[in-house]
Amino acid sequence: MISLNFLKTQIKNANRIMLLNATKIILATIGAIFLAEFFHLQHSISTGIVAILTIQPTKKETLQTALTRFYAFVVSLVLAYLCFQVLGFSISGFLLYFSIYIILCHILHWYYAMTMNAVLISHFVTYGMMNGETILNEVLIFVIGVGTGIVANLHLRKKVDAIEELKEQADTQIVEILNRMSERIINVDMTDYNAESFIELRKMIRSAKNLAEENYLNQFNKDDRYDIEYIMMRDRQCQVLFEMYKNVRKLDSTPETAKAISHYLKMMATKFHRDNDGHELMKLFREMDLYMKQRPLPVERLEFENRARLFVVMRNIEEFIQIKTEFWNAHNGRDA
């Protein structure tokens, strides 16, 4: 079953990511402390703490956090110097600095910088002074810790195989939904027709969307949004499919037009793949739509109600194809 394979893949990927992150943090911490010891810095363990706090899930987040903390660190040094000049290098001086600094961090949204910079500034209380040597020590702790954290995330690359697998699984699930919908239209007694396939599809699309966004944040070419937009396209199609499902499930008879729609859905399933630009499908849909309009109007109430439901399904089919065609045109036929 797709659901079982999907679950196994998710667990495997989650375990691999947890192990990788733990290893990355450990190596970054050890590396930062080793460098601090090599340069004979005081409070060298703090360098490892800075490295840990710098590491974020993606390259973009890591760089943004590092830049924010740099600005906050410069402000911290100036603010600490002024506070220590007023109350001396004491607990009172540090608390004055800390109170003003926390307020500034909330105003400027420097939340990630609060803990780390407060720890670094606290070292000046133990030094009992702020001169060139002690300031240089803290600057080096900051630079080595942040630098090591950034280097630890340089290995992050787009997870091409993982995103392709999720996209393939989602596409396969859509094909299954189309096939079952085709069967249900001409078989109103299909008792096992339910929304379970949509639950699985939404899980796949959600996972693919999260991974696509992570991949986007782990690349320096910020113009490459193809995977994100591809998943968004499939997500929109999924929503349209569910609207189709709700109307198909209400069918309690098989009108004359049902066979044509069933056949079309079966044909859609066979042609459903990334390289299909949707233009041929739309042409065939127009022909079927014209055929439907030429059919005699229903006489009995039951047939009228079911023909009305199928009319809505027809409009959903049209929207479903248009979504893919628009995506294809937007990307000039690139691997769609």
Residues 286-322: tens digit of each pLDDT = 988 888 887 777 667 887 888 888 889 999 999 999 9
What's the pTM? 0.60
User: How far is Cα 209 from Cα 233, in angstroms, rounded to an integer?
Assistant: 11
**φ and ψ of 242, to 5 deg:** -65, -35
Judged by DSSP in three states, 190 sits in coil
**Residue 2: pLDDT over 50:** no
Q: Tell me what pLDDT residue 168 has.
A: 85
What's the confidence (pLDDT) of residue 274? Answer: 78
Span 240-273, pLDDT tens digits: 999 999 999 988 888 878 889 999 999 999 888 7
Of 27-31, 32-36, 157-161, minimum mean pLDDT range:
157-161
Taking a C-beta distance cutoff of 8 angstroms, is the pair 167, 231 a contact?
yes
Q: What is the CA radius of gyration of the chain?
A: 30
Question: At how many degrees (to 10) do helices 59-87 and 196-217 cross?
Answer: 60
Q: Would you place residue 190 in the very low, low, confident or very high pLDDT band (cuts 50, 70, 90)?
A: confident
Please list the residue range(s) of the chain that carry CATH number 1.20.120.940.
Answer: 160-330
Under 8 Å between Cβ of 104 and 113: no
User: Distance between CA atoms of 271 and 269, rounded to whole angstroms?
Assistant: 5
Q: Which CATH number fits domain 160-330: 3.40.50.300, 3.40.50.920, 1.20.120.940, 1.10.1740.10?
A: 1.20.120.940
With 0-12 CB in 10 A as exposed, 13-18 as middle and 19+ as buried, what is 32?
Answer: buried
The total number of residues written for the chain in this structure: 336
